[in-house]
Amino acid sequence: MLVIVAPGQGSQAPGFLAPWLELPGLPERLERLSEVAQSDLVAHGTTSDAPTIKDTAVAQPLIVGAGLVALSALFGVDRAAAPDRGDDAGRADGRAASPVGATAGHSVGEITAAAFAGVLTEDEAVAFVRERGRGMAQASAVAPTGMSAVVGGDPEEVLAVLDSLGLTPANLNGAGQVVAAGTLEQLSALDGAPPARARVVPLQVAGAFHTRHMDPAVDRLARHVLDLAAQDPAVPLVSNADGTVVDDGEEVLRRLVRQVSNPVRWDLTMDTFLAMGVTGLIEIPPAGTLVGLAKRALRGVETLALKTPDDLDQARRMIQEHGGPQDAGPDAPPHPGQPEHQHPQEDTP
């Protein structure tokens, strides 16, 4: 079984989109998405420097836009936005990618995954991430905050140290990695006294994402989605909140809003991949981070970081070898408190 995964913020690097924009049609596609994002995604993906693309309001639309254009190159499907909801022309979805058994995204990458699964059109996804990035940037400006990865150490001791410093375990990524979020003062204290046998790596993000510091952005997004009519996923969508397979489009939207101020559980997401019988995993641009985690947590699964168009042939080979019509599988986790083999909505806040 093949899964497609989309990375989150911090995965971007200066110039990472340049080779993709050498492909016919992709510059025009990204220019159209730039209009929706109200941001020059072409420039930010090719010539903007590291401080510029670290800005949350720039980084998030850039990452989602990059994933969408790479998916169009990989599957060779016209994903131009439809002016109305009477057809699926604006959906970068699995109806055109039936070999894919599941999809998921880390943090902002879940928006890309939702578009790939057909929950949102490309334009809806980019408009959503535009509001998300702006809202989180504004929330980040209230107080100096950030995030650092804690790699290694005893998991319980790591969490205890974070708690003692008032930090939030914002991402539990599995494979021995927890991302701490909080004020820069708290993160400095962590860097000065890390947990035993662990190292602390500051991340290239400009706020304490997936914590209470992002509550104002949640309110903004909750208002934004009132005008959206989500479609149910055409590809099983694994939620990064708890590893649940979500098959209701409106529930996907609710989770996209809530995740801004709640932890990402990529460890549980990868557990679900294993339960579903994953054999191949492709990470779309800006790729590398999630493949690194998968290599340690999903032993025996073939992985590919789709970094440049040079990787497309290998990705297509993997689609042929690992792809095929799939369902969620008998071992995929149901929603908490519901009968097994079902994926109804979850109404917890």
Q: Are 314 and 304 in contact (CB under 8 A)?
A: yes
Q: Which residue has the tokens 């903007």?
A: 48
Catalytic residue among 107, 148, 239, 261: 107
Query: Is the N-terminal amide bond of 169 cis, ω within 30° of 0?
Result: no
Q: In 3D, which of 271, 278, 325, 276 has the Cα closest to residue 304? A: 278
Segments of 125-213 assigned E as strands: 145-152, 168-174, 177-183, 198-202
User: Would residue 335 show up in a list of annotated catalytic residues for this protein?
Assistant: no
CA atoms within 13 A of residue 308's CA, in its CB half-sphere: 7
What are the CA-CA distances from residue 73 to residues 116, 159, 176, 280, 310 (Å)? 13, 41, 33, 19, 12
The secondary structure of 34-49 as a DSSP string is: HHHHTS-HHHHHHT--
d(CA 283, CA 6): 6
Contact 37, 65 (CB under 8 A): yes
Token representation of residue 267: 């460890």
> Using CA atoms, how far apart are residues 316 and 312, in angstroms rounded to an integer?
6
- DSSP character string of 48-95: --HHHHHSHHHHHHHHHHHHHHHHHHHHT---PPPSSSSSSTT---GG
DSSP string, 189-221: HHHHSPPTTEEEEE-S-SS-TTSGGGHHHHHHH
**Active-site hit among 44, 106, 210, 213:** 210
Q: Is there a catalytic annotation at residue 11?
A: no
Residues designated as active site: 107, 210
